[in-house]
């Protein structure tokens, strides 16, 4: 099993190192190839996604990704920005299905900004379409407007085929859970969303055992904090999914806990924490490595066919939390406050 490891920028290096260490303790035969990506790659070669990195990602059975970006790179032209590496990998590898689970560990129900009873035992899965929508739709740009001054524009678009395949991923996932899908759009305003809704409704006919509902994205944003447990699987487009998944992460107490998988049609995937590079705490050894360790567990399950090993990792994370280990982002009084390396070690010891 060959894994491409792309740590990236900011806390990316620290958290990925812990995930790789945990993977190394499982007694599996893993071949690891590390490559630079994002700002780190730009610094080395002037390109946030060098050909060699893309080649390593293509060769691998799965990709473990840290995070990219930082204030140093904010002034660069769009094509050179670290975020382009991630968007480029998603597009080049056809990673259209982004799975973002948000689970509240019983031990951490207090860490949420919401009342514990609102979030206790929450378990939702956001299925976000990842290679279409306004992120990639053409035309986009900044141009001179007739009225003088400039105009910025992006294009939201989805083909029927793109909507259908992400709907299928959501329905299949729901079958393994509590069999409910909520499709989120803005069909009261957007043509793209109207087509989205029609296609998802059609596709639902092939999944009669799954209950489908539709919700407008503004309402969904509100319902997620009002009564999050009403949701099981949420399926939505690239942009709405980006926003709603950050919101959902805070239900769990910290964005530092949420893993993600981005899969192609064959199940090959890129695995990354949903949080970013956190430049403010980079290099201090305080970042929470759990989202990345849990992403490695998703990788074992979805791309490497190692579900028993995945379970061992997830169980070890649970035990470390149960035993009171907390990084700063989830720390509450009376717990053991630890840094990145100690948290990784606490998980490794409990495998």
Nearer to ligand IPM, 4 or 348 (CB): 4
Other residues' Cβ atoms within 10 Å of the Cβ of residue 225: 15
Active site residue 185: no
Active site residue 325: no
Least Cβ distance, residue 71 to ligand IPM (angstroms):
14
Other residues' Cβ atoms within 10 Å of the Cβ of residue 341: 14
Judged by CB under 6 A, does residue 64 bind ligand IPM? no
Judged by CB under 6 A, does residue 56 bind ligand IPM? no
Eight-class DSSP state of 317: H
Q: Is 124 left (phi over 0), alpha (psi -120 to 50) or beta?
A: beta
If contact means CB under 5 to 8 A according to the sort of partner, which of Mg ion, ligand IPM, none does residue 86 touch?
ligand IPM
Q: E strands of the chain, at which residues? A: 2-8, 31-34, 62-67, 97-103, 123-129, 141-144, 150-153, 180-185, 211-216, 233-236, 259-263, 269-273, 325-326, 336-337
Judged by CB under 6 A, does residue 172 bind ligand IPM? no
Active site residue 246: yes
Tell me which residue of 189, 151, 183 sits closest to 166, measured CA to CA.
183
Query: Which one of the listed residues 246, 264, 331, 337 is annotated catalytic?
Result: 246
Other residues' Cβ atoms within 10 Å of the Cβ of residue 305: 13
Nearer to Mg ion, 50 or 276 (CB): 276
Nearer to ligand IPM, 41 or 86 (CB): 86
Judged by CB under 6 A, does residue 129 bind ligand IPM? no
Contact 229, 221 (CB under 8 A): no
Least Cβ distance, residue 251 to ligand IPM (angstroms):
16
Nearer to ligand IPM, 217 or 348 (CB): 217
Rounded Cα distance between 127 and 249, Å, is 14
Contact 277, 9 (CB under 8 A): yes
Judged by CB under 6 A, does residue 242 bind ligand IPM? yes
Least Cβ distance, residue 206 to ligand IPM (angstroms):
29
Contact map string, positions 80 to 119, toward ligand IPM, x by CB under 6 A: ---x--xx--------------------------------
Query: Which one of the listed residues 47, 133, 242, 329 is annotated catalytic?
Result: 242
Active site residue 110: no
Instruction: Please give the positions annotated as active site.
Output: 135, 186, 218, 242, 246
Positions that interact with ligand IPM (CB under 6 A): 83, 86-87, 242, 274
């Amino acid at each position: 099993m060959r894994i491409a490891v792309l740590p990236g920028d900011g806390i990316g290096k620290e958290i990925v190192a812990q995930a790789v260490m945990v993977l190394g303790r499982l007694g599996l035969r893993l071949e690891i190839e590390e490559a630079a990506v994002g700002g780190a790659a730009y610094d080395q070669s002037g390109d946030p996604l060098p050909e060699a990195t893309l080649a390593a990602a293509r060769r691998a059975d799965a990709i473990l990704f840290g995070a990219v970006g930082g204030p140093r790179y904010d002034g660069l032209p769009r094509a050179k920005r670290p975020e382009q590496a991630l968007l480029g990998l998603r597009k080049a590898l056809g990673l259209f299905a982004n799975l973002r689970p948000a689970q509240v560990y019983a031990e951490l129900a207090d860490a949420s900004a919401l009342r514990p009873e609102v979030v206790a035992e929450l378990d939702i899965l956001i299925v976000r379409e990842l290679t279409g929508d306004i992120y990639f739709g053409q035309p986009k740009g900044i141009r001179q407007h007739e009225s003088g001054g400039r105009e910025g524009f992006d294009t939201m678009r989805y083909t029927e085929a793109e909507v259908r395949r992400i709907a299928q991923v959501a329905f299949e996932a729901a079958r393994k859970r509590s069999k409910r899908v909520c499709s989120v759009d803005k069909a009261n305003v957007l043509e793209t969303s109207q087509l989205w809704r029609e296609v998802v409704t059609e596709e639902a006919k092939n999944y009669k055992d799954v209950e489908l509902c539709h919700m407008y994205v503004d309402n969904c944003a509100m319902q997620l904090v009002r009564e999050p447990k009403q949701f099981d699987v949420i399926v939505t487009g690239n942009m709405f999914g980006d926003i709603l998944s950050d919101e959902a992460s805070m239900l769990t107490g910290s964005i530092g806990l949420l893993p993600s998988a981005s899969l192609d049609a064959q199940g090959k995937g890129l695995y990354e924490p949903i949080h970013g590079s956190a430049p403010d705490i980079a290099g201090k050894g305080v970042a929470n490595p759990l989202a990345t360790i849990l992403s490695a567990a998703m990788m074992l399950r979805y791309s490497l066919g190692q579900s028993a090993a995945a379970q061992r990792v997830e169980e070890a994370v649970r035990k470390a939390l149960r035993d009171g280990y907390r990084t700063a982002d989830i720390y509450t009084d009376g717990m053991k406050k630890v840094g990145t390396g100690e948290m990784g070690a606490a998980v490794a010891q409990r495998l």
